Amino acid sequence: MTEAAARRRGRGGGGAARRAERTAVSIETAKYIERNIPNFEVLNEEALEIIETNAETVLEEIGVNFVENPAALERWRQAGADVQGERVHIPRGLARELIKTAPGSFTQHARNPERSVEIGGRNLVLAPVYGPPFVRDMDGGRRYATMADFEKFVKLGYMSKWLHHSGGTVCEPTDVPVNKRHLDMLHAHMTLSDKPFMGSVTEPSRAQDSVDMAGLLFGKEFVQDNTVMTSLININSPMTFDDVMMGAMEVYAENNQACIVSPFIVGGAMAPVTVAGTLTQVMAEVLAGIAYNQLCRAGAPVIMGAFVTSIDMNSGAPTFGTPEAAHITYGAGQIARRLGLPYRSAGSFTGSKLPDAQAAYETSNSLNMGLLSGVNFMLHACGWLEGGLVSSFEKFVMDADQLGVLHHLAKGISMDENGQGMDAIREVGPGGHYLGCAHTQANFKSAFWRTNMLDYKPFEQWAEEGERDTMTLANLKMKQMLEQYQQPALDPGIAESLAAFVAEKKASMPDAFS
Please, which of residues 324-353 interact with a second copy by CB under 8 A? 324, 326-327, 331, 351-353
By beta-carbon proximity to a second copy, the closer residue of 91 and 404 is 404
482 touches 152 (CB < 8 A): yes
Stretch touching a second copy by CB under 8 A, among 14-22, 76-84, 106-114, 470-478 = 470-478
78 touches 72 (CB < 8 A): no
Least distance CB 270 / a second copy (angstroms): 7
Positions in 281-310 near a second copy (CB under 8 A): 281, 310
Q: Provide the mask over 205-234, with x wherever binding to a second copy is found by CB under 8 A and - wherever it is not.
A: ------------------------------
Angle of the 181-192 helix axis to the 492-507 helix axis, nearest 10: 170
The reply on whether position 243 binds a second copy by CB under 8 A is no
Strand partners, 83: 88
The reply on whether position 383 binds a second copy by CB under 8 A is no
Q: How does strand 384-385 pair with strand 377-378?
A: unpaired
Task: Determine which residue in the list 269, 476, 494, 503 makes contact with a second copy, applying CB under 8 A.
Answer: 269
Stretch touching a second copy by CB under 8 A, among 41-49, 183-191, 243-251, 491-499 = 41-49
Strand partners, 240: 65, 236
Task: Determine which residue in the list 12, 23, 225, 433 makes contact with a second copy, applying CB under 8 A.
Answer: 433
Strand partners, 266: 309
**Helix residue ranges per DSSP H, 179-274:** 181-192, 204-218, 220-225, 243-254
CA distance 17 to 186: 24
* Longest CA–CA separation in the chain, Å: 79
CA distance 46 to 467: 53
The reply on whether position 323 binds a second copy by CB under 8 A is yes
Task: Determine which residue in the list 15, 430, 466, 510 makes contact with a second copy, applying CB under 8 A.
Answer: 430
DSSP assignment letter at 62: I
Positions in 48-77 near a second copy (CB under 8 A): 50, 54, 57-58, 61-65
The reply on whether position 84 binds a second copy by CB under 8 A is no
The reply on whether position 470 binds a second copy by CB under 8 A is yes
The reply on whether position 418 binds a second copy by CB under 8 A is yes
Stretch touching a second copy by CB under 8 A, among 145-153, 276-284, 296-304, 492-500 = 276-284
Task: Determine which residue in the list 33, 73, 124, 359 makes contact with a second copy, applying CB under 8 A.
Answer: 359
Cβ-based neighbour number of residue 10 at 10 Å: 18
CA distance 408 to 398: 17
Stretch touching a second copy by CB under 8 A, among 5-13, 26-34, 198-206, 271-279 = 271-279
By beta-carbon proximity to a second copy, the closer residue of 28 and 417 is 417
By beta-carbon proximity to a second copy, the closer residue of 293 and 475 is 475
Least distance CB 81 / a second copy (angstroms): 14
Task: Tell me the C-alpha to C-alpha distance, in Å, between residue 229 and each of 203, 294, 380, 452.
Answer: 16, 17, 17, 30
Task: Tell me the C-alpha to C-alpha distance, in Å, between residue 331 and each of 1, 23, 460, 492.
Answer: 44, 46, 47, 48
Q: How does strand 258-266 pair with strand 307-311?
A: parallel
The reply on whether position 425 binds a second copy by CB under 8 A is yes
**Phi, psi dihedrals of residue 221, rounded to the nearest 5°:** -65, -40
